[in-house]
Structure 1
Amino acid sequence: MSTSSSGVLVLLGAPLGNPEDASPRVASELARADVIAAEDTRRLQRLLGELGVTARATITSYFEGNEAGKTDSLIEQLYDGKRVAVITDGGMPSVSDPGYRLVRAAIDAGIEVTAAPGPSAVTTALALSGLPCDRFSFEGFAPRKEGERRRLFAALAEDRRTMVFFESPRRIADTLRAMAEAFGEDRAAALCRELTKTYEDVRRGGLGELAEGAQADPPRGEITLVIEGWSGPDPEDATPEALAAAVAALEAAGTDRKAAMKEVATRFGVPRREVYNALINTTG
């Protein structure tokens, strides 16, 4: 619950590139704010000009490098009854952008927090990818260190949800190669770059193909990756009866038992010992 004398913290969804994507409410909030905390003040000034907005606010920079130091000052201004708007270079504050620290501090202080929602690179890329959108996870930027990145991808390899990542042009080729190794060369993916901008581009294909393309023709600009979730067998389907029946079907088709057991283990995603036990328990 907000205090009666405190101000309001407003999170503004900024255009990813095309200023026409800014909502009328975003323009209205920029015009009425007492303080605007902007990730890039020069980009903010350009957006104000494109929207035809004259801001009466005090404008201050608020980016990753000074976020910790400026949060207390912004909270004090909120306590004084100011309406503080937070805007990043594109998309919603807090989503892999500055804002979370201030939102958390405002909530803890009992200050009202609201948002003027707007464009999101995550959902825009997801919709453009052509991959399933019913369940997805947003993973942000992959770790820079190779070992940490490898461990993350190994943990996600059998996640059935579509995954969305951000990545920089400098690391995209290495990241795609690491993904191809962890998820498989043929795992479907979409590399979306410069969304809503003049040179918007969406590359679709298997991870191996996209990795080769990024190596030969490095993409530039802001990149959002969408990766298909794992579509392997559901462990619940690997009943002893199903495993034994699958082995029997392969043997009937001429496959020897050892090769059949190996193929069934791979198909159902279970250890070969489990297939062996299923045969023992069902056939005696």
Structure 2
Amino acid sequence: MNMYNELSGQIALVTGGTKGTGKAIAERLALAGAKVIITARNKSEDVKPGFHFIPADLSKPEGTEKLTAAILAEYGGIDILINNLGGSETPGGGFAALSDEHWSETLQTNLLAPVRLDRGLLPSMLAKGSGVIIHIASIQGRLPLPDSTLPYAAAKAGLINYSKGLSKEVTPKGIRVLTVSPGWIQTEAAIRMMERLAESSGDTIESATQQVMNSLGGIPMGRPAKPEEVAELVGFLVSPRANYLSGTEYVIDGGTIPTI
């Protein structure tokens, strides 16, 4: 068995799968032979043929219900669930600038969306006695940046804790549950952010990138991760080669976190 057929016959769902890291993960799983379902609020123009796209706003309970119902009706369940959806749109300014609405929106997207989706799709996995769930968290779960992403960091810390607890419950029943916590990833959105920072400061993109790395305390690798590098880790974790792995968090941050 090799990576080009090891997921043959498997059905996978990747949330936030139309761009960035989610897109890279979806393409990696398809390369391994999986039938891949992707979901997001809106379909991206450059989604490759062969993916089953289902529009849904998972930050709302009704969005999760819609997605779950569509998947169960057409496929009866899935084998792999990648809870990749996440992000932060909170303003800078520290704790005082953050309203209840900011906190609620961030927790809905980064913590409660995967919780609800697990609850909707886990029963089909349990019925078969097999399946893999990956929660994409963040190193901010243990290395928070308080100026503007405090709710995001708190939500990801909660997701890491929830993922571990869920694994204890369902691993004995055949379901592997894992967490992947990336550091800074050089997605297209991150590149656009560097361009905006460079334009506003009159500096170069390289200098803006270095400033962000400095704000993280430095990245020993000297660069952000590529989406494909995170996708490769996920591809391994959901494969039969990782059958004895469950309940563990895997950090992929180029050495950013300075402690053990």
Q: Given the two structures, how large is their TM-score scaled by the length of structure 1? A: 0.31
Q: Which of structures 1 and 2 has the bigger CA Rg?
A: 1
Q: TM-score, normalised by structure 2?
A: 0.33
